[in-house]
Structure 1
Amino acid sequence: MKCKQNKGEESGEENRETKRKGKVKLLKTFLEDKDHKDLLTNIKITTASIVDSQISEASTSTTGDTYQNPLTTTMSGNSEDNQEDSQAQPNLAIEYAPNQDIPARQPRQPSNLQDLLRYAVEAGSRSRAQEAPNINRAASMNEANRGFLLDALNSMMVNVGAELEKIIKTLKENQDQKDICIGALDNLSDYVCSIDYANDFLKMGGLPVLQPLLEGSDPELRWRAAETVADIVQNNPFSQNFIIQTDFLNLLLTSIEHDSNTTVQVKSLYAVSCLVRDNEECLKEFIKRDGFSVLLRCIQSKKEKLVIKSCFLIACLCTDNNQVKQVLLSMGMVEQMCVLIDIEDALDTEMNEHLLSALASLIKDSPEAQSLCRLEPLNLKFKLNFIKEKHAGNEVYHKELEHVNSVLTEVFEEDSPEEFDHQDR
């Protein structure tokens, strides 16, 4: 699975988080019941014992009748596909010796999830009957809880390819149906958090169905489409290289700069950040399409979320990348950041922290950038010392003070005072 979050990046839409928490709470409540814990334990033990016993029996034999594991045979997918595969593959089936004694009657082993549940319930009932023969436990699970567990087990056996095809078809045929599209995008986001499923979605031709949503008239569908693109490309080189060959980077940059809805701008910037970080080819395209000018205008907008995300991306891209630093220096990014550090209206916001973080990354090992910071009209040294004095000893501003001291040390050759060195102790 993709590891999605870095500081300064979006943590996901609140409604999705609420839905996930609801599922977790429901499952936790279900599992707190002792009978349910015992049942799930029985399922685990039963499945393991079936497989172990079959492997143990098979390992003693070399020839004879072909044996097929009912669990793997039934749950592996379409039987016709399996037959076609088996014709193309060498025969690797386990075989029994012809005169091996097999008991005349054996319990019917589970061939699907419902049988597995029944098998486990029966096994648990026999075990409990031996422990307490006078207690009737036949009705230990009601129908609602049984259905809940079956749904949970069945969810593990979803045909994701078929689900992705269904989502693509739904989005293609219902562009004007907002609620239907939102539901489909929510389901899609659950799948494309997996790198493999994200790649499958692109290979199946799913990307074009997102473009009309990103360019549409409904702001919620626009930001959801942008967020889905971010989910697809984050930490995923294949998807990044796939999308950079389309016009989606231009679409996202246009949304960042011109969309009237701040949430759409923020989600589009999030998608661009996921696309260009740690991918040199995507970064080259970003620079070629003047992406840093878009980031500069985001910072100048003084919209807090746009400032924070833009600074986060700049700080990431500046790390050990002199080419990026030169581009930013040539467009006056250092001076703009120094000017935008606000010791009045934005003193108690997160904007200063992220501006200072980006500035610290930009000036590191760059004498030219450090020299620009010393320009008297920028008044940077006064601002930094003011922030130090104002937030001294306040743990809430610990990271901001770290960046302040880093810039003071790099630019003005001031040693960090002892009271700010506590993080190293």
Structure 2
Amino acid sequence: MAGERQGRRYPQNLQGVLQLAVDAGSAEEQAPPTLEPMSEERKTWLREALSDICKGQMDEVEQMKRCLELLRVEEPNTQREDEDEEDDREAAFETLTELCDNLDNARDLMTLGGLDLCVSRYLGHEQGGLRWRAAELIASCSQNMPQVQLYLLNIGTLPKLLEMTDSDPNPTVRVKALYAVSSSVVSMGMVQQLVSVLQTPHSPFHEHVLGALCCLVEDCPEGLKDCRDPAVGLDVLLKQRSKELQGKEECEEELDFCERLRTMCFTGQQPEDNGMDR
């Protein structure tokens, strides 16, 4: 049996290494431990497989460096950037966003200065396609990454994103900025700032703000706590907004967000508090 495993050929990748480990563990459970020399073929395979795994990770870092080099190039002093160059920058952002689904890559991008570049140059870029891709990359990097979230907070990212959600003329930019906000840490005052956006004259954009609040409440206990704070006034605002939207077919989704928020934040809260008082 051991000879059969010794002669087995495994894929030369991470899956192959894992399968080798599983088979080795199974062999130890099924038979008394024996010391068998590893064949030269097996040693060579293992070295090459581990080398390929490390090389793959290194290649991703190199890809990020190349993308950042392209994004750091000064833009031409023309009225409008060459379309080919804009396409290249958009492609660089898309590559970075895909790579940063990996948490290690997101951390590396922060170390390489990529997040600083996004915030300082591209959140305010004149091309909407680059603005929303920068916001999307920030969202991808900050999900489930407290270290990255704190870093973004410290370099002043949140106020810029909130300004984009409130006033950017491009609707895709506003949605992506909200996505980045909801993916970031729930810092002191963030819920309050989102609620303050809802207190401005009503617009279709408020639907997206309510959607972001729903995400915060569902995914983060601190977000739920902040929404329940009476000083924020969200309960009163939601009741009033629900009344205003009743019967308006074009506002059905916004009304649904209002009702979901009220249910998640306030339904049953008072009876629970009364029970605790007793």
TM-score by length of 1: 0.48
Find the counterpart in structure 1 of residue 204 from structure 2: 302
5+ residue gaps, structure 1: 1-40, 78-111, 113-152, 277-281, 369-425
Decide whether aligned partners of structure 1 residues 242 and 157 sit closer, same or farther in structure 2, where only a CA change above 3 A counts: closer
Distance, in Å, in 2 between the alignment partners of 1:291 and 1:260 is 18
Looking at structure 1, the residues matched to 170 and 12 of structure 2 have their Cα atoms a distance apart, in angstroms, of 54
Select 1:355's aligned residue among 252, 258, 273: 258
Report matched runs for 1:251-266 at 5 Å.
Answer: 251-266=160-175
Judging changes above 3 Å, is the alpha-carbon distance between structure 1 residues 270 and 179 closer, same or farther for their aligned structure 2 residues? Answer: same
Contact 1:230 1:270 in 2 (8 A): yes
Query: Residue 143 of structure 1 aligns with which residue?
Result: none
| Structure 1 residue corresponding to 2:196, chosen from 273, 293, 315 | 293
Please state how far the C-alpha of 1:320 moved relative to its aligned partner.
5.1
Please give the alpha-carbon distance, in whole angstroms, between the structure 2 residues aligned to 1:334 and 1:251. 26
Q: Distance in 1 between matches of 2:158 and 2:223?
A: 22
Distance apart, 1:342 and its partner CA = 2.6
Match of 2:36 in 1: 60
Q: Which residue of 1 aligns with 2:118?
A: 210
Change (3 A) 1:331 1:321: closer
CA separation of 1:310 and 1:342: change in aligned 2, threshold 3 A: farther
- Matched residue, 2:104: 196
Counterpart among 35, 44, 61 of residue 70 in structure 1: 44
Q: How far, CA to CA, are the matches of 1:301 and 1:319 in structure 2?
A: 24
Work out the CA distance in 2 between the residues paired with 1:230 and 1:172: 20
What residue number does 1:338 align with? 242
Contact 1:346 1:352 in 2 (8 A): no
Q: What is the one-letter code of the residue matched to 1:303?
A: F
The alignment's TM-score, normalised by the length of structure 2, stands at 0.70
Note the residue ranges of structure 2 that are not aligned, 5 or more in a row. Answer: 1-7, 29-33, 76-80, 272-278
Shift of the alpha carbon at 1:50?
9.0
CA shift in 2, pair 1:43/1:337, >3 Å? same
SS of the residue corresponding to residue 233 of structure 2 reads: helix
Instruction: Name the residue aligned to 2:87.
Output: 179
**Partner deviation per Cα, 1:84-103 (whole Å, 9 max, x = no partner):** xxxxxxxxxxxxxxxxxxxx
Residue pairs, 1:313-392, within 5 angstroms: 313=215, 315-316=217-218, 321=225, 324-329=228-233, 332-346=236-250, 349-367=252-270
CA shift in 2, pair 1:45/1:236, >3 Å: closer
* Residues 350/320 of structure 1: CA separation in 2 closer, same or farther (3 Å cut): closer
How many residue pairs align between the two structures?
241
Q: Could you tell me how far apart the structure 2 residues matched to 1:246 and 1:160 are?
A: 25
Between the aligned residues of both structures, percent identity stands at 19
In our comparison, the structure showing a higher alpha carbon Rg is 1
8 A contact 1:295–1:310 mirrored in 2: no
Cα deviation per residue 1:102-140 (whole Å; 9 max; x = unaligned)?
xxxxxxxxxx8xxxxxxxxxxxxxxxxxxxxxxxxxxxx
Q: Secondary structure at the match of 1:284?
A: coil
1:194 deviates by: 1.3
